[in-house]
Structure 1
C-alpha cells in the first residue's frame, strides 16, 4: 500500500523549487547505517514502497530493522490525456516526498557494513536521486 497523508490543508500544491541543503533529517538517528541523498528531487510514494520491499527482502534473514525517514506529503496533479489546454489545474495524481541534498532516506539497524552496503545498493537502483552510504557518528 503506497504511503499518502490522511488529510492535507490544501489538495493541490504548487511545484516550487528545491533550494539549498537539508538542515533537518540529515544525520543517522535510528540505525547504524543510512542512505543519504546527494541530489535534490521528488521521490514518489510508489518508489518508496518499491525500496521498502527491496530492502526488507534483503534484511529478512539478517534480523536487521529498516527505518523509512521520508514521507510523501506533497500532491502532484495531472491532466487527463488528450485534454485541451485551459479548464484549470488537474486533479491530484500521486504523492511525492521532497528531498534535498543531505536528507537521510532510509536507515538500517543491526547487521554489518557489508550487508548494509549490499542492501542499500539494491535500493539505490530504484531511486531517482544519487545517494551515498553513511554511518552513525559516535556521540
Structure 2
C-alpha cells in the first residue's frame, strides 16, 4: 500500500478540489497514458490495484509510471460514536485528483496492448478516465 514514510501532521483538513489540474496534466515519460475527467480522492489501494492490472496485461514488457502518490491523511471515527470529542484517528492516505491529471503512463509496448492495459487500470479507479497518446507518436513503429 502506498503511503508516505513520514508526515508533518497526522491529520489534515478535507480541502476543496475545484478547477482543472494545473500540474501533472501532460505526458512526461511514456507514449500512452490515462488522465482523469473527474475530481475525486484516489486511495493507495486503488492505485496499487490499477498498477498490478497494467503490469499483468503488459506481461511485464515495457515500462509503467505511476504519476500520483497518496500523501493526504484521512481520518475516521469508530462506529457508533457520538458527535464531538475531536477528530478521528488516521485511517489511510488518499491523493486528491482534479480533471486533466495524468494518472499512469506506459512506454515500450504497441498501441493495442497499451490501450487494453490502461483500460483495465481505469476499471480499478473511482474516476472516469480518458486514454491519451503522445502527440508525436508514430503509429507505424513496433508493428
TM bucket (normalised to shorter chain) is: over 0.9
How far did 1:83 drift? 1.3
Q: 2:77 aligns with which of 76, 79, 82?
A: 79
Taking structure 2 as the reference length, what is the TM-score of the superposition? 0.92
Which residue in 2 is equivalent to 1:65? 63
Moved over 3 A (4+): none
Separation of aligned partners in 2, 1:64 and 1:35? 16
Q: 1:108 aligns with which of 106, 109, 114?
A: 106
Which residue in 1 is equivalent to 2:140? none
Q: Which residues of structure 2 form unaligned runs of 5+?
A: 137-143
How far did 1:137 drift? 2.5
Which residue in 1 is equivalent to 2:3? 4
Separation of aligned partners in 1, 2:117 and 2:56? 9
Q: Which residues of structure 1 form unaligned runs of 5+?
A: none
Which residue in 2 is equivalent to 1:98? 96
Which residue in 1 is equivalent to 2:125? 127
Please report the RMSD computed on the Cα atoms of aligned residues, expressed in angstroms: 1.3
Q: Secondary structure at the match of 2:10?
A: coil
How far did 1:48 drift? 0.5
Q: Secondary structure at the match of 2:94?
A: strand
Separation of aligned partners in 2, 1:23 and 1:113? 27
* Structure 1 stretch displaced more, 41-50 or 79-88: 79-88
